[in-house]
Amino acid sequence: MKTDTKTVLITGANSGIGSAIRDILQQNGYTIFGIGRKNSEILCDLQDTMMLEKKVRELLKTTDINVLINCAGLGIFKPHEEISVNKMKRYL
């Protein structure tokens, strides 16, 4: 694995924009490692930064990552005053 030049780490690869990018890259021969809370090669909540660092360090022991694509995120579509402080923290 250390010599693969087409290895991509994608956050949010199991749905939406990340999933669409994943599909296209896979069709073009890229090896994908998705990070997400479910249905991903690397299961991790990105809010748990300690766990994230641990999992990525583990991966890097065996794999060179050539590209990082950050697609994970959440959208809150309502008036600002209706968004709780907790939700805003998660959003950030």
Ligand X SMILES: NC(=O)c1ccc[n+]([C@@H]2O[C@H](COP(=O)([O-])OP(=O)(O)OC[C@H]3O[C@@H](n4cnc5c(N)ncnc54)[C@H](OP(=O)(O)O)[C@@H]3O)[C@@H](O)[C@H]2O)c1
Min CB(3)–ligand X separation in Å:
29
Interaction between residue 17 and ligand X (CB under 6 A): yes
Kindly identify the residues of this chain, within the stretch 27-46, that bind ligand X according to CB under 6 A: 36-38, 40, 45-46
In b/e form, how buried is each residue of 26-61, taking b as 16+ CB within 10 angstroms? eeeebbbbbbbeeebbbebeeeeeeebeebbeebee
Report the residue from 8, 9, 14, 59 that binds ligand X according to the rule CB under 6 A. Answer: 14
CB 33 within 8 A of CB 9: yes
Site of interaction with ligand X (CB under 6 A): 12, 14-18, 36-38, 40, 45-47, 71-75
